[in-house]
Amino acid sequence: MNNIIKGSIAGATGVALLMGGFGTYAVWTDSEDLASNGVTSGALTIDTDPGVYDDLGTTGSGNENDWDEDELMVPGDEVSYTQEFTVTGTGKNLEGTIALATENMTNGFGAGNLTRTVDVTVTDAGTATITKVDATNFSFASPFDTATLTAVVTYTFDDVSGTTDQGKTATTPASTFTIAQS
């Protein structure tokens, strides 16, 4: 073989070897992990304790919660039923409403002789801004961890004469307290 042909073959082979990766070729690289992550949801709950009755006609120490639900009213009596509700609201951007949907009283008494009023107050707002809208409705604009609301139902048996409204019954069905995100 001719030296020129041999030289050409050797040169082509060298170029092919260099282009085929047999030479050195370096680049910089780096890596970093995306840290473990996630999210957790908050809560919106309402719980209650049993309520207590109180004879508002008796005052002074030792006379608190001194009415039993089975006792009978007479004209001039005023009795309250008090129940506390614990509400919990956690989570950023949480806002909503708290409402007591009062049911109508079934009243066997004469017109206006037995009246009922319902009022709810915030007894401990926690860290929230809880705004009273009316006697049974509230709004809140921030998470509040735990707050306490107190519902008071007051029954007043007006003075009547003779045998008016003896043996009559009035019943207030259970009412629903609801806390909702808006």
More confident residue, 111 or 2: 111
The per-residue pLDDT for 139 is: 92
Mean pLDDT of the chain: 85
What's the chain look like in SS3?
CCHHHHHHHHHHHHHHHHHCCCCCCCCCCCCCCCCCCCCCCCEEEEEECCCEEEECCCCCCCCCCCECCCCCCCCCCEEEEEEEEEEEEECCCCCEEEEEECCCCEECCCCCCEEEEEEEEEEECCCCCEEEEECCEEEECCCCEEEEEEEEEEEEECCCCCCCCCCCCEECCCCEEEEEEC
Summarised one tens digit per residue, pLDDT across range 112-124 is 899 999 999 998 8
pTM reported for the whole predicted model: 0.75
Q: Using pLDDT thresholds of 50, 70 and 90, give the confidence band for residue 67.
A: confident
Q: What is the pLDDT of residues 7-64, one digit of tens each?
A: 666 555 555 555 555 556 689 999 999 999 999 999 999 999 899 999 998 877 777 7
Per-residue pLDDT tens over the stretch 157-167? 999 999 999 99
